Structures are given as structure tokens and as C-alpha cells.
Structure 1
Amino acid sequence: MSIVVKELKDVRPPLLWEPNAGPETDDFVKRKQANDQIPPVALQRVVFEAQQILGRCVDPTKGPEGATGLAVGYVQSGKTLSFTTLAALARDNGYGMVVLIAGVLDNLLKQTLTRLTADLNLAGGLARPWVLVDRPTPGKASATQLQQHLTKWSDPSLSPQKKRTVMVVVLKNHKRMGNLRACLKGLDLSAVPTLVIDDEADQASLNNFAYSNRRTGSNKKSTNYSEVTALKALLPHHTYVQYTATPQAPLLVGLSDALSPSFAELLSPGDGYVGGKVLFAPGARYSRAIPDEEADASLATSTDGPPSTLVDALRIFLLGACAVEESGKIAHRTMMVHPSHHTENHKDYQVWIADLVGAWRSMASNAALKDEFFEHFRRAHTDLAETVGNTLPSLEVLVGHMSYVLKTVNYREVNSTGPGSEPVDWSGCEYWILVGGAKLDRGFTVEGLTVTYMPRPMGVGNADNLQQRARFYGYKQKYVGYCRIYLRREVRDAFRNYVEHEEAIHESLRKTRGEALSKWNRQFTLDGAMNPTRRNVIGIPLEEVVASNWVHPKAAYVDRDCVEDNRQVFKDFIAQLGGLNNGVAANDVDPERYIDKRSGKKNILFENVSLETVIDGLLERLRMGDGDDAVQRVGCVLALRQLIKDGQTHADVFVIGELEPQNRSKKGKAINQVFQGKNPDTTDRTQLLYGGDRDFASASRVSLHLRAFNLLNANTRATEEKNVPWFAMHVPESLKKRLLIQAEGV
């Protein structure tokens, strides 16, 4: 069975080597297709992307070397499927060991271990080419088994059939990883090609002292980071592949860091995936705001019962479950309540839900009460009709199933202690309400999740941490109309804004796919209320650019070559616009807004210049000799590219004073005063001869100023530099963009 979408040899840039999909990959694909009903075309794409990832890893047939890579997907989009495919390919292509670092919580490790065992048939006996070693420990049978099989792999006298690939699963905990390292110590692993997969690689693996080390020059290492890097150092022939849906942290470690990825590959979500682009699209009706007073409610402070939005959410969820009953199908539907990472808050919601479900069970089966009771569901039914459409059964039909649904629904806490620590037995019930905190965060799979009620605040405002709460993403296109997300207003806005941030990262990685990430300048578009990731792991200096109001370089003159080049850029750009004669004096276009009654050179306006022309013909060509100004220029380009995606297409370009050089004094390298003010300085616009440079900007579009300066000595007023080109960009507040950009030369 040949599983390719296109030829690997056609991938650009070329792969280091071309992995083959052999019997383990083929069997895995057949198993997934039969058990999970995944379409063959979708599985072909997964295999092809895994081949590209493995093809950028070290070649198992060549001499020992090490590498680090990054695989980036979306939350709940199938990363486990991808790295399981990668493991199968590794076996088919001669890897002797696969190490899976499977999260920080035991429940997530067990969840992943169960999937791996089933998907790769790891428990299939002696005939299988795998040996599963779960959390090896020195002095235990697991260590002996691991060592014996790795020793066999290094024995050239044994046939390939006698060499089974060792699948090692270990918790992302420094003691557990230290145990694995102790089991491997002393073995000759130079002939054992190894694939290390770090699931949720942005969490707990990176050095928590990176930021302070960069500032102080020290070399402190956090415990997990020490163990991961020590494991890499122990493996002469390996690739460490980081899997994550939130790559900000791995991308922002220092470029010389052992965990800095040398390449990145993107994972495509399959058909039917529903993410932020759907749920938080402009005008989408899937999210609802929880008022602050309800989000902060508790049993101790609330005298009117549970928050009204919680009651609304529960009604929406129950009607969705009734719709499943009406369809005649058997499927899970789950409501997730995620109030806080503090377990004491969970008990309040557990009480409220228990009281509501208990009371409603009685009312739904009471002939005297049920009509009035069901009438309270009418608003929820109208709400669902907005997204489900004409296929939504009538309220009368749905509530006919309510008694059964209320008798069936199971509600429980999901925590790390007490009864909440027990695994969810999905096979025991089709309808669930889960109340929890951290265990419902990253990596936890919720079957058939339709309604999320999350009154948690923003917290510290790290973008990657917030996105990992999005358990409400996933493959749910078939029932997305029944999905609702209840969030605090500022959290909902953050999720909406994250969509832009996430797509910008993916687009940048797509453009540099397969190329050395050390050459890629990190650039992030980010909401003003958030940071890309936790500061302590950031090893790359970032500069912040806020593209709002006026943005311009500070140092108009750095070196003569730079100035001469920029003069030519201005000349070419104005020629591209048709020359100055093709523009119009701004005061003739709008004399009330652009006041200029002076004699002499005018400010020439070119309206509706395409942003692409501004980027390609001007900003991308300008040279900034000063580092801060170089960051500003990149920020301007990034802001305009993002505005194009947002639907903004044109800008207004003003050539100030017809590009006649104006005199300005210098303060160091910078211009002392850039903008000419009003003349005279009065608030009565009818008295103005000139409204001031800052007035020459559109209220609704981006505006560019092009001008030239003669730079004067601040003390002697003698001209030191002539005809120095200079630009400024104005972005209206409504189009504001915040960008984080890697400092040049880093």
C-alpha cells in the first residue's frame, strides 16, 4: 500500500531523506480507518505530513548526529494522530527507539498510552515489532527490558527481524525523566537511531531561567529542562520533535538553546475541524458573554441561586442532548464547566448543577408542572435556531426526550484529588456535565463537547496559556450548531483576537517551512492585553511596536549610502504613483480638513494607493541604519499586511512640501522636532494659515508622509546633511496593531 499525496521528491525545500511508509504505517492507517472511520484521503494527508517531518529529522542510515524540530498544529486538531503516525514511520525506517514525553499529568499520560497501545497494536505479542516500556525505573524489570532490547539493536550479528523498536513512554517530570536517563546510562546508543517526541512541548520542558539568564549572564537551568537536555546529550543519534498547538515559547527560546528548533512543519487540520476561525469569526453566534457579577458568583455570595447564564447554558446543552435522542443515533454530548483552577470553586458549581438537574427531573415528569417548565426552554430553543437552522426539531419534539435525558445525564468533578481524580468512564453514559480546572485544560479530550461555561478570568494574560483552555475546539462540524461557549467578555475578546495572532504565526512558519529557523526573524501580531508566552522562558530579545497614531523612524540619518539608497526608493515610488503632477494639493481635496493657505510648495496627496504598493514599492525597500528604526519599519510592514487580511486595501500618501527639503536640527542621531505645527498656534481653525503636519492624515485609512530634511547642527545651525528622505505612517486608532518583533542581529 503506497500512501502518498504527492511525491516526496517534490517537497521544497528538499527533505534530508525520503521516509517510506512500510507495513507498520500501512497497518496503522487501516486500523484507524476501520476503528475511527477516518476517511482514507484524510489519513493519506496525515501520513504525508508525517513523512515530511521525519524527512527533516536525522537520517537513520547515516552517522550519529542530533537535531531538534517543531511540529505545529491547532488545539484539538489531531496532534496525537500525527505523532503516532510519525512513530509508525520511524519503525518502518529503521529507528530503534521512540521516546514519548507524554505530558505533565498522569491522567494525560494514561490517556495517550491507551491510544498508542490500541493504534500501534503494542500489546500484540511476540510477533509485533514493538516493545512497550512504560515509565522505566532503575532496578525494575522495565529497566532490564529496555536495556536488553537496545543492546540487541546494536548487535550487527542479529537479523533485522530480531530487532524490535522500543516505545518508551515517560511523564514530563524531572524524576521520571531522570529515571529514564539512568536506565540508558552506560549503553552504547550510537547505532540506535532515536526519535524523541515531546507532546505539549511548550509546557514544562523549557528553561524557566532563560529570561533571567539573558539579563544577568548566568546559566541556571530548571529541573525538567536539565533532564530533557541531558537526555538529548545521552542520545548520539536522535531527533527531538516538539509537538504543540501553541508554539510561542519554543520559538522564543534563545537561538543557541539546545531546545531551539532547527526546523518547523505545520500540521493541517482535517475536514470537519472547528477552531477559532469558526467559533470566534466576526458575526458568529457561538459565544456568549458572562457578566462579571455572575462570573464571580459563589454559593456564599449568591442569594438568587445559580448565575442566570449558567442556567441558560444548561438548557442549551440539554436541548442538544434531546436532539441526539430525536435523531435516533447514539453519541456523546458533554457540557464542561471550568470556573477556576482552585478546586473549592468547583464544589459551588457542582451544587448548583446537582440542584438544577434534580429539580428539573421532578418537573419534567410532573404533568402539572412540565408545560410551564418546558416553556422556560423556549428562549434556548430560539437561540439554537440561529446556528442550527431549519434542521432544528421543534421545542415540542425535543422536550419529548427531556425526561430520559435528565434521568441519564451524569455530572461530576474532574480534579487531581479525591473522587474527581478518577478517570471518566465514557462508555458508561452518553450525556455528561464535567466540572473542573487544570485537568480540563491542556490535552484533556472531552467527548462530544457542545457547551462550555468558563467564568475564569484572563489570568496573567499569556496568549498560549489562554489558547490551551480551548477544549471547545475540535472535530465537531456535524454538530457545531449546538455548540456554545460562555466566557467573560474580556476573555471572549482575547479568544477573538488570538485568531489573528495564531494565523500570523502559521503564515510565517509556512513561508519558512523546511528552512533553518535560526534565520527566521520572530514576528508576532498580538492583542494589547496579552503576552505571547510566560516571560521566564523567553531567550530572544523582543521589541514592541504599536502601530497606532503616528509611527516613524527617529534617526533620519545614519550613513551616506543608506540615505542615497532611500532617495532612489522615494524617487521610484513617486514615479510609480505617476509623478508629483499626478497628485493633487491636499487642501484642494478637502480644504476644511487639510488647511494650507500658504504660498509656495504644497502637500501633494495621492488618494487610495494600494497597501501592497506601499509595502512593496516603499517600505520593503527602505534601509534603516538604526536598529530601533529597523524594527519600526518591519512593524509597519507587518501591520499593513495584517490590515490587508482585515479587509483594508488602500492608503493615502502625502508628499510633504512637494519633497522640498525642510530644515531641522539634530539631537544626537535623531531629528529634534519632526512635525511642523499649526500656524498660527490657535484653536480657531478659521484663523489658520496651516493646520500642522499631523492634520494631514485620513480619519479612516492608513496615511503615509514622505518628505526630505536638511539636518542642522543643534548649536551652530550649520547644515550637516542635505536632502535626507524620511517617512511617517499614521494608523487610526480603530485599526491599531500591536507587534512583537525580534531585535535585529539576535
Structure 2
Amino acid sequence: MFDSELAYFRSIINKQHGEDIAQGQGLPEGAITSIVRNGPFQHLGEPAINAIIRELEASFTVTQKRGAVITKGHRPWLATMRPALDFYYWNRLRKYYLETGTLPSPVLATLDSDTDEILDQCGNPKDELYGAVRGMVMGNVQSGKTTNYSALICKAADAGYRVIILLAGITNSLRAQTQERIDETFIGKVSMFGAAAQQSLPIQNYAATRRIPSYGTTRVADFSSGTDGIYFGLSGHQEPMIFITKKNKSILERLAHWIEKQGETGGYDLPLLLIDDEADNASINTATDPKRTTAINGIIRQILSRFPRSAYIGYTATPFANIFIDPETTAEMETDDLFPGNFIKALDPPTNYAGSHRVFREGGDLRSSMVKVIDDYRALLPLRHKSGDNVADIPESLRHAIRVFCITRAIRVFQDKGKAHCSMMINVSRFNAIQDKILGLVYEYLTEIKDAVSVHASLPLDEINDEIMAHLENSFTVEFGNSGLNWRDLLEVLNEGVQSIEVRTVNMRGGKLDYSLRKSEGLHVIAIGGLALSRGLTLEGLTISYLLRNATASDTLMQMARWFGYRPGYEEYCRLYLPQVSFDHYEFVDEATEELRSEIKRMQAARRTPRDFGLKVRQSPLAIRVTAANKMRTAEKLKIAQDYSARHIEGFALPNDPVIGKAHRNAVEKFLIALGSPTEIHKGYIHWAAGGRDVLSLMREFQFVDHPDLSVISDTSLLGDYVQDRVTDELEKWDVVLPMRQSGDSTPFAGQKINLRSRDQGTVQKGTYRVYGSKNRVADPGDAQIGLSDPQKAKADAAYRAETYKKERAACSVRERPMMLVHVFNAKLRDDRNDRDEDLKLNDPIVTLSFCMPETGKPAKERTYQVNAVYRQQLEHFAAEEDDDSEAMMEAQDA
């Protein structure tokens, strides 16, 4: 509303505080208020002045840290060459971002330094000594990876990269969306072949001269060698040439064939930058049928091989099933031509990014307001269902979510943002047929809401007598009753908010979200879909998400999280409805992915290489849960090396069998009595010293289930083999600790008096008792710190504050000896479970174990295991679902 005024104040702030902003320092308190109130626009009035101050504070108080990078054999060049380079494209983009306020200034400063670092790692395109460079950039889901590689493309063009290929997903909608973004940030006009008039874009206004790159794809056309718009070869133009293609076998073959012809005119001599967006999808051999992805992988390598100077940069937020893990052996991983052997860069998101840590982590500021756990879906939309199942109705929780979306539309109108895009996502089935049935039911209910609102919303509040209007008011009270908003005020704009809402399916059989065609009035849509909604596609203005999916593979799960991203001015009104099992999985994935990102920071400090990180990923908990699970459909043998360094492995799942439970209890009591008198007895725990071989023997007497680390595989377990490899050196001596309550009635156990803990959140399904349901926990949060000295606690706290480790892993990392925790507790099942198929049969007290492992100095050994049926079933639990769109997408890649 105040674009010119905001632009004026942004320029003043940048002039006065630009150096502080560039160095990542905050503005002095009250600086923005002072500048605005002393400015020349006091005639606008107090409400307008306050609005301008709020908008500027939102822009200038957001910060972003520089991400970490690990590298091998890098020769810095950019700082030396910078004075001789004309950064035309980057300066134009930087000025556009700065003066329009598209990016907060501190975020823009970090973008500048991060992309400088990536460009420097790519190598000097004018230095013939540079050959092939392979790197990877790790971002977060919906966190601005496109913004990062848009800036990188501009800088690469300025530095001398003459051929730029951007691989943008596997769907036409995602490719077109990406082409539009590059038009706006780099090309500078609407990319069309044969257009009678060139339609310039706003970025052209931010440079004194006009330069336009050449392009081989447009908003409506992927690459075709017969395209009328390509009148010359790679070497026939002064500006760089860019291609934005999807990962489709036929299209990439055409591009590769066209490039083959360019050698005759010197095209091969031009330096190439190839950016692979969503690099873990289709580029890598992770599909059920690996031959399909091998074809795309091979064509990418073929294109790269044609250019003596080439830089391949894979961008991804989910590297779990990526090139690090997929090859059968470490040697294959290292020699793969797409393995990022030169560098890996991790991007940190800005502070205004609504990501996993804010939504799912304990203490996350959006967790309590945004996440709503639902459980009324089982009868109407069970997580496991078939394509032909009947869907008679939608759950009340989905009706409530639809009403809440209507209310958020009214809130946006009330905020004078009624013409901004606004979306709701419904992702409840992998089957297109079920999605179509949901479409009809949602359309019917939305029509009822529209009809009720059009008749009743304009009436005085005390005269409204309608069931749907009452439900709308109740949903408002439940979700926004404490927000400061008034239902009477929203009624005045409710009709305007709801009447423009459309309902669409978005899948490979049809349907798309054409935000670009609705810029003036905004697209207000309820999008129903599956995989097509889950890969790279941005749902603009997403406020309400409703998820009922059984996917537990971490990469699939995270890509479904389209609710991550930036919600300026309305994040407090966003809602996510999902089952408890999905919530628990997201908690686990958040923890695991953050550990991988922290690993890069640790390796940067230790001057380690991408190979070391590749090994870490292959040996992480996610490797076996994701990649091994994907291979379980055919594999009878499994090659695994697991690293348990600085990890707490908890025995959270036990057979629901009283005979086995008693055997566990007897084995532990016998073990503890044999250790003799405790070395320490505290109020909260009892401590013994033990030998590694004795601990290993006890582990072998336990029957853990549904646990990739502790379940029996080839007559052993992964953790058991890990301990066996180190039992004569670093894991020779152990601490054994029995944690307990500090007060209460005591119970005799193993010759000691203990105050039993209680666990009352358990679940039992298919013969397995899980201590905390899907949370994969059994210990208390502070258990990993038991027995640490004050210096060790200080060291662990420093590692946590430096974001090197999360709290629990930080405590494990400083241990001199491993610690086995013996958990003894009374238990009962959760009261809110209505899908219980049996009662808890284990007798009190229940006993299980967990293991706090210190840092290791020995690499993990790779072993081949014969996979038995039980272990295969456990891994299949973590495998990704096959989506109806999966097959269609694979066929599209082959077309």
C-alpha cells in the first residue's frame, strides 16, 4: 500500500546502517521508528506511519547465518578476480531485491556471501586448469533454494559461465514455475519464442543498460531441437545462454544431441554450469526400477562430459536417499560422476523461516498454535486404503479445516491482503481415484458454506440462525478465539473471502495451480493431491494443510511438508492437521536432518572432506530406514555400515509377551547382581562399572522388535556388531546406570531398592509394545547427562550452544566411556487410542535398555547381512508408499 514510501525509507536505512547490515549486525533499537517519524510523510496519518514502521521492522529485523561448507582441493580465485569482473546481472538483482524489499537486507547480505562462496567453489570459468567440479547445496524444504540458485546464476553469468542448464524437477508445472522465476530474476523478460513484442519484467528497471541472456526454453516450451526460437548455436551470441528443462529422458536426450553438434563451432570450449534442482529426485538411482533413473543419470553425465570446464551443483533439502547412500559400496559412491566430491554447502534459513524446528521441535514457537493432532479419520479415511475403496463422507476434522481456511481468507481480506494468493492443501491419499472422490465431497461442503455465508453473513450477529454459520463461529473460537480478532468484524468480509475459493485436484492426470495467471486478483484454492503436491511445487499463501498419509520414508515425508516456508503477517493463522503417527515421524525426521546439517559444521571445523560426509550419511540412522527399506522389495542381502558415534540408542519397542518380559527382567537382575556392589548410589540413579563383553552378552539376551539398530539380523544386530568391533579397546569399559525417581515407594530389584518410574503413553499393535507410541523413546530427557563431570557438562553445553550437537548427542559426545541405561518402570497404555488390537500383557515392572555411545576413533565396518523375513518386514515399515503419480511421473521421464 505504501510502495514508494517504503522504498524511500529502505534507501535511507541502507545508507545509514548498510555496513552494520552487511556484517550481520542488528539495527540500533528504535532506529527505524526514529527514521520514519522524522521522515517527510507525516501527512499520511498515524495508522499509516505505524504500518510503515511494522513493514520495515519485519524487513530489517530478520537475520540469517552463513552456512557451513566442506571442501576438497579448492583453489580460491573469486576475491582476486573480482575487481576485473562486471557483475551486471548480480548488481541488477541485488538492487531489485534491496529496493523492493523482496528480501530483508540482512538476508540479502547472507545470500551475497553464500553465493560468493558457492561460485568460488565452482571454479574460475576462464581458467583452463579447472576441469570438472562437482558440488552440492543443502537447503531446507520451501526455504529459498530457488532464490539462492537464481543469485548464483546471475553471478556465474557475470564471472564467465557461458552455458547454464537448470534441471527443474520432473513435472511440467514445476518446470514452468521455475522458468517464470528465472525470467523475473535473470532473463528480465517473459521468455517466449516468436513473440511480436517483448514483455519486459520489473527487474529491467534496476540497471542503467539493457542486457538479456539467450534462452533455449520458454514458459510454455521445454527444450526441443526444432524450436524456432534457437537461431544459433552456443557460440553464436555474446550473452550467456540458459536452458531450463525438466528431468525427462526424451527432452534431455534432445538437448544432449543438440549439444553434440556444437563441437563444430567451438561450443564445447564454453564453460558450463549445470544446476540440478531437487537433486535427490530422478537424477539418482533410487527408484524401485533403477533402470529408469539410470537413464536420466547417464544423460546428465553425458552432457557434463562434453565440456572440459563444467560445474555440477545439486540442490536438495532431502539428501537421505541421495548419491551418498545409493551405490552398493563406498568405492562406487566415490567414483560416481555426480558425487559432490569437491564441496558440500549447507544453507542456514533466515529467522523468519517457518521450518521443522519451529513447527515440530519441543519448544518450537509455532508448535502449539499451528499443529493440530487429529484422530477421527479412521472410519472414513483410514491411512491404509485401496484405490477402489468407497469414500462416503469426509471426517469432521476435515470439515473443520475447510471452515478454518474460509476464516483465514476472511482474515486476509480484513488485513487488506484479500487479493494475495491463498491456498489450502489436502493430501490424504496416494490414489487419484480417491482424490477425485474427496474433490466432490469437499466441493459439496464448500458450496454449502458459500451459500450460508452469502445469505447470513450480512445479517446482524444476533439475527443469524444457521447451523453452518454456527459451525464457522465455533471453528473461529477454537482456533482464533485468543488472537485478538473479533468474529463480528470478520463477518463483514467473510462473503468476499469465501466466494472466490476454488477446489482442484492437482495430480499427473490433470490440474495445475496457475498462480501467475491470477496475479492481480489472487488464486484462492483448495488443492487436493498426492505426490504432485509434494515435490518442489510452491503452494502460494498456504495457510491450512490437512495430511493423512502413511509415508514414513524421511525424504517422502519432508517433501510433503509444503507448509514450511515464509508466511509474513499471517504465520500465526496457519494450521496443520495430521495424525499422531505422522507428528511423531516428523519429530524424528527433524532431529535426524538437523544432525546431518550439524555434521557439516563439525566437519568444516575439523577440515574434513565431502567423502567423510558421504560416509557419515551412509552410516546414519536414516540410511538404513530409507535406502535399505527401498531395496527390501527384492534384496535378500544387505550391505550396511552403521556409525553410532555420539548417539543414544534406545530400546523403545518390546514384544508384548509376558514370558519374554520375565526373561528380560531375570537377565538384567542376574547381570546387575553379578557386577557386585554399586560404585555410586544417588537419589536419582544407581551406578555400576562393567566390562564390554558382559554388556554384549546381555544385549544378545534381549529381544528388541521394530528397531533397525537393535533387532536381530543374521543372528546379531547392527549395534551388537559395532560394539563387538570395539570391545577390546574404546568400548572395553562401560558405565551401567539404573535411573529412577528421586522419591516414592521403593521396590526391590537386583538386590537394590529403587523408586520405579512410570510410563503411561504406550501403544500395542501387532504384538509390539512401544513405550512412548511412535516417539521412539524410553529414557527421560536428562538421562544422557547422568554421571557427567562439571567440565564435561560445560563442554557438552558449549557444543549445544554452538549448534554442533543437539543436547542429548552433545552429552554422549563428551563421555569417556559408553553408558548402558537399565530402564525399569511401571507402564500403561495411552487412554486416547481407539485402534488398540490387544492389551498390554507385560507384567510390571518392565525392563528395557538404552545405550549412550561416545565419539569413536574407528571407522564403521561394512558388512553384508543375510536379511531374514522379520527384519525385512521391519524395514518395509519405513519404505515409501507407491503413489499413483509415481508411475505417471516415471513414464513422463521416459517419454
The question of a shared fold, defined as TM-score above 0.5 by the shorter chain, is answered with yes
**Any conservation in 2 of the 1:64–1:191 contact (CA below 8 Å)?**
no
**1:540–1:189 CA distance, 2 compared to 1 (3 A):** farther
**1:633–1:258 CA distance, 2 compared to 1 (3 A):** farther
**1:422–1:549 CA distance, 2 compared to 1 (3 A):** closer
Matched, 1:198 2:273: no
Q: Which residue of 2 aligns with 1:454?
A: 547
> Among 319, 330, 339, which residue is 1:260 paired with?
339
Q: Which residue of 1 aligns with 2:479?
A: 384
* Structure 1 residue 518 displacement after superposition: 0.9
**Aligned AA for 1:547?**
I
Alignment of 1:414-493 (within 5 A): 414-418=506-510, 425-427=517-519, 428-458=521-551, 461-493=552-584
> Among 86, 110, 116, which residue is 1:45 paired with?
110
**Any conservation in 1 of the 2:170–2:282 contact (CA below 8 Å)?**
yes
**Aligned AA for 2:110?**
R
Q: Which residue of 2 aligns with 1:110?
A: 176
**Structure 1 stretches of 5 or more lacking a match?**
153-162, 213-218, 551-592, 619-625, 637-651, 657-684, 706-724
Partners of 2:447 and 2:292 lie apart in 1 by 55
Q: Which residue of 2 aligns with 1:147?
A: 234
**Any conservation in 2 of the 1:335–1:433 contact (CA below 8 Å)?**
yes
Alignment of 1:232-311 (within 5 A): 232-248=304-320, 249-253=322-326, 254-262=333-341, 263-282=343-362, 284-287=368-371, 288-290=373-375, 291-296=377-382, 301=390, 303=392, 305-311=393-399
**Any conservation in 2 of the 1:409–1:431 contact (CA below 8 Å)?**
yes
Q: Deviations over 1:336-371 (max 9, x none)?
A: 112223221122222122211222222223357655
Worse-matched range after superposition: 286-295 or 261-270: 286-295
* Structure 1 residue 139 displacement after superposition: 4.9
TM-score, with structure 2 as normaliser:
0.59
**Any conservation in 1 of the 2:163–2:234 contact (CA below 8 Å)?**
no
**Any conservation in 1 of the 2:391–2:434 contact (CA below 8 Å)?**
no
**1:168–1:516 CA distance, 2 compared to 1 (3 A):** same
Partners of 1:104 and 1:286 lie apart in 2 by 31
**Aligned AA for 2:503?**
Y
SS at 1:475 equivalent: coil
Q: Which residue of 2 aligns with 1:410?
A: 502
**Any conservation in 1 of the 2:640–2:862 contact (CA below 8 Å)?**
no
SS at 1:251 equivalent: coil
**Aligned AA for 2:242?**
M
Partners of 2:503 and 2:399 lie apart in 1 by 15
SS at 2:379 equivalent: helix
**Any conservation in 2 of the 1:73–1:244 contact (CA below 8 Å)?**
yes
Matched, 1:177 2:260: no
RMSD: 4.7
Q: Deviations over 1:87-146 (max 9, x none)?
A: 111011111111111111111111100110111134369951521111443355456523
SS at 1:67 equivalent: strand
* Structure 1 residue 251 displacement after superposition: 2.9
**Any conservation in 2 of the 1:58–1:67 contact (CA below 8 Å)?**
yes
Alignment of 1:336-415 (within 5 A): 336-367=425-456, 370=465, 372-385=467-480, 389-391=482-484, 393-415=485-507
Matched, 1:522 2:602: no
Q: Which residue of 2 aligns with 1:130?
A: 213
**1:536–1:110 CA distance, 2 compared to 1 (3 A):** farther
* Structure 1 residue 480 displacement after superposition: 1.7
**Any conservation in 1 of the 2:554–2:626 contact (CA below 8 Å)?**
yes
SS at 2:369 equivalent: coil
Partners of 1:599 and 1:223 lie apart in 2 by 60
Worse-matched range after superposition: 103-112 or 181-190: 181-190
Partners of 1:205 and 1:18 lie apart in 2 by 30
**1:597–1:295 CA distance, 2 compared to 1 (3 A):** closer
**Aligned AA for 1:378?**
E
**Any conservation in 1 of the 2:425–2:527 contact (CA below 8 Å)?**
yes
Q: Which residue of 2 aligns with 1:557?
A: none
**Any conservation in 2 of the 1:542–1:742 contact (CA below 8 Å)?**
no
Q: Which residue of 2 aligns with 1:548?
A: 650
**1:34–1:185 CA distance, 2 compared to 1 (3 A):** same
**1:138–1:309 CA distance, 2 compared to 1 (3 A):** same
**Aligned AA for 2:396?**
S
Partners of 1:699 and 1:437 lie apart in 2 by 36
Partners of 1:239 and 1:597 lie apart in 2 by 59
**Any conservation in 2 of the 1:76–1:471 contact (CA below 8 Å)?**
yes
> Among 680, 695, 700, which residue is 1:605 paired with?
680
**Any conservation in 2 of the 1:136–1:143 contact (CA below 8 Å)?**
no
Partners of 1:484 and 1:498 lie apart in 2 by 20
Worse-matched range after superposition: 251-260 or 123-132: 123-132
* Structure 1 residue 177 displacement after superposition: 1.3
> Among 15, 22, 25, which residue is 2:90 paired with?
25
Calculate percent identity across the aligned residue pairs. 20
Matched, 1:224 2:296: yes
**1:609–1:508 CA distance, 2 compared to 1 (3 A):** farther
Partners of 1:133 and 1:742 lie apart in 2 by 47
Q: Which residue of 1 aligns with 2:31?
A: none
**1:686–1:633 CA distance, 2 compared to 1 (3 A):** closer
SS at 2:455 equivalent: coil
SS at 1:401 equivalent: helix
Partners of 2:749 and 2:546 lie apart in 1 by 59
**1:320–1:276 CA distance, 2 compared to 1 (3 A):** same
**Any conservation in 2 of the 1:361–1:406 contact (CA below 8 Å)?**
yes
Q: Which residue of 2 aligns with 1:92?
A: 158
**Aligned AA for 2:280?**
D
* Structure 1 residue 292 displacement after superposition: 2.3
Partners of 2:432 and 2:674 lie apart in 1 by 73
Q: Deviations over 1:600-639 (max 9, x none)?
A: 97331276999xxx9xxx9xxxxxxx99778449999xxx
**1:727–1:454 CA distance, 2 compared to 1 (3 A):** closer
* Structure 1 residue 32 displacement after superposition: 2.9
**Aligned AA for 2:319?**
P
Count of residue correspondences: 601
**1:321–1:232 CA distance, 2 compared to 1 (3 A):** same
**Aligned AA for 2:122?**
C
SS at 1:146 equivalent: coil
**1:310–1:607 CA distance, 2 compared to 1 (3 A):** same
* Structure 1 residue 239 displacement after superposition: 1.0
Q: Which residue of 2 aligns with 1:666?
A: none
SS at 2:394 equivalent: coil
Q: Which residue of 2 aligns with 1:589?
A: none
Name which one, 1 or 2, has greater alpha-carbon Rg. Answer: 1
* Structure 1 residue 264 displacement after superposition: 0.7
Partners of 2:625 and 2:820 lie apart in 1 by 24
Worse-matched range after superposition: 135-144 or 233-242: 135-144
* Structure 1 residue 28 displacement after superposition: 0.9
> Among 388, 405, 416, which residue is 1:317 paired with?
405
Partners of 1:609 and 1:59 lie apart in 2 by 60
**Aligned AA for 1:345?**
I
Q: Which residue of 2 aligns with 1:712?
A: none
**1:221–1:543 CA distance, 2 compared to 1 (3 A):** same
SS at 2:443 equivalent: helix
